[in-house]
Amino acid sequence: MDFTLPASAEQLRQAADRFVQEALLPHEGLLPPAEGTLPEDVRHRVTERRRALGLWGLGVPPAAGGMGLGWMERALVQERVQRSLLGLWPQGLLAAGDPPAALHAMRGAQREEYLQPCLDGRRIAHQILLPGGARAGGAPGLRAMPTPEGAVLSGTWTAVPALCTEDVLLVVAEMQGRLQGFLCDRGLPGYRVCRRRPGMGSVELADLAWEDCRLETARILPDAGPAALLWRAAQRVTVFGAGALGAAERCLEIGLDHIRRRQTFGRPLADRQAIQWMVADSARELHGARLLLYRAASLADRGDRDSAQDLAGPAMAYAAEAACRTVDRVLQMHGGYGYTRELPIERFWRDLRFYRVADGSNDTLVADAAGMLVADLSA
Amino acid sequence: MDCTLPPDVRKWKESMRRFVERELVPREHTLPPFANTLPEEVTAGIVAQLKSEGLWGLAVPREYGGAGLGLVALCALREALGHTTLWSLARLLGTEPPILLYDCNEDQKRRFLLPTLQGKRYGCFALTEPNAGSDAAALKMRAEPDGKDHFLLSGRKIFTSHADEADYALVFALTPPAGGAAREGITLFLVETDTPGLRILRQLDTMGGDRPSELLFEDCRVPAANIVGVPGDAFGLAQKWFACDRIALQPPIAIGAAARCLAMARAANAAPDAQIGQLALRVYVAREMLYHAAWKADQGLDVRHEASMVKATATTTGLEVVDQVLQWFGPAGYGRDLPFERYYRDLRRFTIAAGTYEIQQFIVARALLRGFSPLNCFAGAEAAAGGRQPGPAHT
Ligand SMILES: Cc1cc2nc3c(=O)[nH]c(=O)nc-3n(C[C@H](O)[C@H](O)[C@H](O)COP(=O)(O)OP(=O)(O)OC[C@H]3O[C@@H](n4cnc5c(N)ncnc54)[C@H](O)[C@@H]3O)c2cc1C
């Protein structure tokens, strides 16, 4: 047992803080106030700045030119970066240079076509994992069938974050009893975004349709399953879990600053117990969330991938909920001002709300983990 | 970073779990509903067995004949113990001397600490007074010098647990010159319970098994040799005790109890996994907080804020889980055949005794308002946070 942070923690924190200071905070004002994200040219500038600062390819092995960070280290970076509204996942500003792990093993022509451009920042890849079988409500979902040339995909999938569909989308789905990866990019015949649905914040959702969509073998990763599952778990812990935690911590700091200064009935809000309890509840929940995330991350870094994967879903769920509750309390501390778009809090509130449904809804993740949690507690 | 229990601690915890299942759970129905004692010879038999299985004194430092496994181990053993309603039997683990005794001088260690560790003597902790509970520094018990070598104690203590069975009491009293800051002038005395002038006025019947006492001190003459530490300076000692106590005393029991109730609920299909999972996740989080704080304390680091976070989280979560599982089982859950009602009644005191929930909340909020972040309290992040200030004057 040892709760010491990795030796690289301080250096990573500084690099992330510098990126936030120099590249994110100055551009926060350019975020469209209601919904949507930054203009393309600004996104490009931010990405170049990040690359120049060396925060590039966080999860990519050094052999492929990345930083090869462990989960713990990636969590520490996300905690800091998502203190800015622009660091939140829905802005997509950290995806460049960090393709999903199932792509890391690509060789030859596949590597030239997909991996290398992603590593260079010319292309961006995202991953979605689709459960097999029909969806709730009887929607057909996606079907993948093998053909002599490769595979044919048909069906639909609803409410995928639109930013994932901008370039390369690695669709991981079951074919012939095992999880395989299918590379779908813009322009692939038979694959299209059939509907766009704006969300309550920065996230726009897209419905995808595959109509007799034929993929040659170069677009198929038959062994993608394990890497895809591990990548998803890592994203849950680092991007959504630790990211939500960092965002909520920033909001709590804004709240503390406010309640020390704002006076009502001749005394600062900070003197009021109703307000103090919002602080205490938030502190306890965020502390607990952090410990749970660090447990999952350190399990993975120490090689216990199964346990890490099991814990990733519930850890993300707990962190996202704790973060949303915290931001909501901070909004309340600010009264009417908290509700306005003049402060960043309501935007954090709207954007973080997505984290609770982002990658499997929280309720499902926690329900699925019930057996594991109860067994672990009984040990 | 490694958040998992050390292998030897895990091994002892498993042994303790087996012991609980084999020796304690079958005896649960013999525990009187409103007491936490079994017949003397039964308890002695359990202790003897714990000793023979090496489960006694594991957390006691090596120099006092223990295994020196520290607070992490104590928490692990107590978490395992929480899987039975017999957890509240006193003196089971041989690790219960108030840790203040480790601050004794050599003579006092010989008279109080060592016999306590050996299970031959037993102490109780008398801080709370009728008009000084949460605000313990407002205590009124006085200790006047009587000659060169003695003090006369007069006043009242209340809610002193196990005073009826104890051989000695740790008593906090004001020593003149009074005045000055509230916390100054508070001195800790070791008082033999058979000292003339000390008597138990009454025992307070409670909704659980604990029956704390009200103590009356009338010119109770105590040797100056029984003062622990520096006279007038005992509040710091008390705070140190609170921190460890808030970590190791109630939270592991609450977590073990909650875990057992949830396991029973799931085995009986008493609720959907979505609901069981939500509660289990919160218990899981509380457990992470517990071991993190215990580990930090074992490293000699300041854990006052963590202790309050652990206590507030684990006790409320445990209580909520027990209450919910009782509810899921319906009328059967309310009855004595199942352990829930007993847990519920006993755990209810956790948010009151040894510092109320409200006071823990206050301590945590104040830490943040003063600019310390108990949030980023990881070794490695500590230096950046810039140290800590003394904690609060609250029980
Ligand atoms: C079963 C049991 C065993 C105990 N064992 C011992 C023992 O062995 N030794 C010992 O010394 N003591 C013991 N205690 C006493 C216990 O520590 C006190 O009861 C506790 O500290 C609260 O003090 P009080 O009862 O005087 O309540 P009060 O301090 O009067 O508090 C009453 C209520 O007001 C709340 N409150 C107080 N101050 C504030 C504030 N600033 N802000 C918000 N709310 C506040 C409290 O949280 C509580 O809810 C025991 C108590 C119980 C119930």
CATH number for the domain that contains residue A190: 2.40.110.10
Q: Hey, what amino acid is at A109?
A: A
Supply the residue whose CA is at minimum distance from atom 31 of ligand 1.
Answer: B134
> Which residue in chain A has the smallest CA separation from B255?
A377
Judged on CB neighbours under 10 Å (0-12, 13-18, 19+), A1 is: middle
The pLDDT score that the predictor gives to residue B391 is 36
Instruction: State whether residue B54 is helix, strand or coil.
Output: coil
- The span from the first CA to the last CA of chain B, in angstroms, equals 33
* Total of domains in chain A: 3
Nearest Cα residue to atom 7 of ligand 1: B160
Same domain, A239 and A179: no
Single-letter amino acid code for the residue at B323: D
* Alpha-carbon separation of residue A87 from A56, A77, A322 (angstroms): 14, 10, 19
Q: Which one-letter amino acid corresponds to residue A63?
A: A
Nearest-by-CA chain B residue for A253: B368
| Probe residue for ligand 1, chosen from B127, B128, B186 as the CB with the greatest number of ligand atoms within 8 Å | B128
| A 188-207 near B (Cβ less than 8 A) | none
> Nearest by CB to A373, which of B72, B281, B309?
B281
- Which among B356, B360, B362 is the best mutation to test ligand 1's pocket, defined by most ligand atoms within 8 Å of the CB? B356
Any ligand 1 atom below 6 A from CB of B141:
no
**A–B: how many Cβ contacts below 8 A?**
163
Chain B nearest C-alpha distance from A203 (Å):
27
Q: What is the spatial distance between Cα A105 and Cα A107, in angstroms, rounded to a whole number?
A: 6
Q: How far is the CA of B219 from the centre of ligand 1 (A)?
A: 26
In B, minimum Cα distance to A277 occurs at B361
Low-confidence stretches of chain A (pLDDT < 50) are: 134
Q: Say how far residue B11 (Cα) sits from the centre of its chain.
A: 23
Q: Is the CB of B241 under 6 A from ligand 1?
A: no
The residue among A131, A110, A117, A126 whose CA lies nearest residue A65 is A117
The residues, ordered by sequence, that sit 6+ positions from A371 with a Cβ below 8 Å of its Cβ are B266, B273
Q: Is the distance from the beta carbon of residue B210 to the nearest atom of ligand 1 less than 6 Å?
A: yes
Binding-face residues of B in 269-288 toward A, CB within 8 A: 272-274, 276-278, 280-288
Q: A303: burial class by Cβ within 10 Å (0-12, 13-18, 19+)?
A: exposed
Domains (range + CATH), chain B: 7-97 (1.10.540.10), 123-228 (2.40.110.10), 238-370 (1.20.140.10)
Q: Give the pLDDT confidence score for residue A133 in this predicted structure.
A: 52
Give the contacts of A184 (CB within 8 A, at least 6 positions apart).
A153, A168, A169, A170, A171, A191, A210, A213, A215, A219
Tell me how close the Cα of B335 comes to any Cα of chain A, in angstroms: 23
Structure tokens at A22: 């120099």
Note whether B277 contacts A291, CB cutoff 8 Å: no
Q: Is the peptide bond before B177 cis (omega within 30 degrees of 0)?
A: yes
User: Could you tell me if residue A339 is inside a domain?
Assistant: yes
Token representation of residue B115: 């016999």
Task: Look at residues A355, A26, A313 and name the one whose alpha carbon lies nearest to residue A200.
Answer: A355
Give the type of residue at B185: G
Instruction: Please give, rounded to a whole number of angstroms, the shortest distance from the CA of A359 to a CA of chain B.
Output: 17
Percentages (nearest 5) of helix, strand, coil residues in chain A: 55, 20, 25
Residue A2 lies in a domain: no
Residues A174 and A310 in one domain: no
Q: At what angle do helices B304-329 and B234-248 cross, to 10 degrees?
A: 40
Residue of A nearest to B258 (CA): A377
- A342 burial (CB, 10 Å; 0-12 / 13-18 / 19+) is exposed
Q: Which atom of ligand 1 is nearest to the CA of B394?
A: 21
- Find out whether the beta carbon of B353 lies less than 6 Å from any atom of ligand 1: yes
User: Is the four-CA dihedral A105, A238, A196, A120 of positive or negative sign?
Assistant: negative
Residue A47 resides in a domain: yes
Domain final position from A167, A196, A223 = A223
Same domain, A147 and A264: no
| Residue in A269, A273, A252, A251 with CA at minimum distance from that of residue A260 | A269
pTM for this predicted structure: 0.95
> Do A240 and A346 fall into the same domain?
yes
User: Of ligand 1's atoms, which has the minimum distance to the CA of residue B128?
Assistant: 11
* CA dist., res. A239 & res. A255, Å (int): 23
Token pair listed for B84: 């039975």
| DSSP 8-state symbol, B163 | T
Running DSSP on this structure, what letter comes out for residue A357? T
Q: Give residue B172's pLDDT.
A: 96
Q: Say yes or no: CB of residue B160 within 6 Å of ligand 1.
A: yes
Q: What is the dihedral of CA B143, B146, B151, B157, to 10 degrees?
A: -50
Quick one: which atom of ligand 1 is closest to the CA of B124?
Answer: 8
C-beta B99 within 6 A of ligand 1: no
Residues B343/B261, Cβ–Cβ less than 8 Å? yes
Contacts 24+ apart (CB under 8 A), A357-365: A358/A89, A358/A161, A358/A240, A358/A320, A359/A232, A359/A235, A359/A236, A359/A240, A359/A316, A360/A313, A362/A316, A362/A317, A362/A320, A362/A321, A363/A317, A363/B274, A365/A313, A365/A314, A365/A316, A365/A317
Residue A1 lies in a domain: no
Residues A364 and A316 in one domain: yes
Do A57 and A179 lie in one domain? The reply is no
At B228, give phi and psi (nearest 5°): -90, 130
Q: Tell me which residue has its CA closest to atom 43 in ligand 1.
A: B358
Taking CB atoms and an 8 Å limit, are A318 and B291 in contact across chains? Answer: no
For β-strands A178-185 and A263-264, DSSP reports them as: unpaired
Whether the CB-CB separation of B180 and B166 falls below 8 Å is answered with no
Count of Cβ atoms closer than 10 Å to residue A103 Cβ:
27
The two structure tokens encoding residue B11: 């091994």
pLDDT digit string (tens) for chain B, length 395 residues: 999 999 999 999 999 999 999 999 999 999 999 999 999 899 999 999 999 999 988 888 888 888 888 899 999 999 999 999 999 887 787 666 667 788 899 999 999 998 988 888 989 999 999 999 999 999 999 999 999 999 999 999 999 999 999 999 999 999 976 455 556 799 999 999 999 999 999 999 999 999 999 999 999 999 999 999 999 989 888 887 888 889 999 999 999 999 999 999 999 999 999 999 999 999 999 999 999 999 999 998 989 999 999 999 999 999 999 999 999 999 999 999 999 999 999 999 999 998 999 999 999 999 999 987 766 677 655 444 433 333 333 44
Predicted complex ipTM:
0.96
Same domain? For A233 and A207 the reply is no
Residues A216 and A240 in one domain: no
How far apart (Å, rounded) are the C-alpha atoms in residues A99 and A119? 7
Which residues are registered as beta bridge partners of B11?
Answer: none
Encoding tokens for residue A42?
């600004």
Between residues 224 and 283 of chain A, which touch chain B (CB distance below 8 Å)?
A: 249, 252, 256, 259-260, 270, 273, 276-277, 279-281, 283
B267 CB contacts (<8 Å, ≥6 apart)?
none
* A190 and A253 fall within a common domain: no
d(C-alpha A298, C-alpha A290), whole Å: 12
What is the whole-number distance in angstroms between the Cα of residue B103 and the centre of ligand 1?
25
Q: Identify residue B297 by its one-letter amino acid code.
A: A
- Answer with the one of A105, A140, A165 that is the final residue of a domain: A105
Considering only CB atoms, A287 lies closest to which of B6, B283, B289, namely: B289
What pLDDT sits at residue B132? 96
**How far, in Å, from the CA of B132 to the mean position of ligand 1?**
8
Give residue A14's Cα distance to chain centre: 21
Return the CATH number at A93. Answer: 1.10.540.10
**Residue of B2, B367, B377 lying closest to A302 (CB–CB):** B2
Position A3 in a domain: no
Whole-angstrom distance, CA of residue A106 vs CA of residue A121? 17
Place of tokens 């040339």: A149
Residues A55 and A152 in one domain: no
Using the structure block, give the residue that is written with the tokens 């104040």. B366
Rg (CA), chain B: 21
For residue B13 and ligand 1, the question of a CB distance below 6 A is answered with: no
User: Which positions in chain A touch B384 (Cβ < 8 Å)?
Assistant: 10
Query: What range defines the domain where residue A131 resides?
Result: 124-223
Residue A247 lies in a domain: yes
The overall longest dimension of chain B from CA atoms, in Å, is 70
Residue B297 near ligand 1, beta carbon < 6 Å: no
Specify burial of residue A306 (Cβ count, 10 A radius: 0-12, 13-18, 19+): exposed
Q: Is A212 on the interface with B (CB under 8 A)?
A: no
Among the partner residues A1, A277, A314, nearest to B6 by beta-carbon distance: A1
Q: Which two tokens stand for residue B329?
A: 């089982």
Pocket test for ligand 1, best of A272, A273, A276, A279 (most atoms within 8 A of CB): A273
Measured in residues, chain B has a length of: 395
Domain ends where: A177, A204, A223?
A223
Residue from B86, B203, B222 nearest B146 by CA: B222
| Interface membership of B25 toward A (CB under 8 Å) | no
| Other Cβ atoms closer than 10 A to B254 | 32
Helix (H) or strand (E) holding A191: strand A191-198
Q: Residues with Cβ < 8 Å from A68, sequence gap 6 or more?
A: A59, A60, A61, A62
Q: Inspect the interface and report whether the beta carbons of A289 and B263 lie closer than 8 Å.
A: no
Closest by alpha carbon to B170, among B115, B123, B224?
A: B123
- A356 touches A324 (CB < 8 A): yes
C-alpha distance from residue B374 to each of A80, B309, B365 (Å): 17, 9, 10
- What pLDDT, on the 0 to 100 scale, is given for residue A286? 97
For residue B126, which atom of ligand 1 is closest to its CA? Answer: 11
> Quick check: B361 and A377 CB within 8 A?
no
Interface of A with B in 159-178 (CB under 8 A): none
- Region for residue B371 given its phi and psi (left: phi exceeds 0; alpha: psi -120 to 50; beta: otherwise): left
| Tokens matching residue B51 | 């000793």
Q: Which of residues 363-392 of B touch A (CB under 8 A)?
A: 364-369, 374-375, 377-381, 384
Same domain, yes or no: A183 and A92 = no
On whether both A79 and A138 belong to a single domain, the answer is no
Burial of A246 (C-beta count, 10 Å sphere; 0-12/13-18/19+): buried
Residue A193 pairs with which residues in a beta bridge?
Answer: A208
**Cβ distance of B283 and A377 shorter than 8 Å:** yes
Query: Is A112 domain-assigned?
Result: no
Q: For residue A318, which residues of chain B lie inside 8 Å, CB to CB?
A: 281-282, 285
Q: Does residue A305 contact residue A230 with C-beta atoms inside 8 Å?
A: yes
Q: How far apart are CA A240 and CA A359, in angstroms?
A: 9
Asked if the Cβ–Cβ distance from A277 to B289 is below 8 Å, we say no
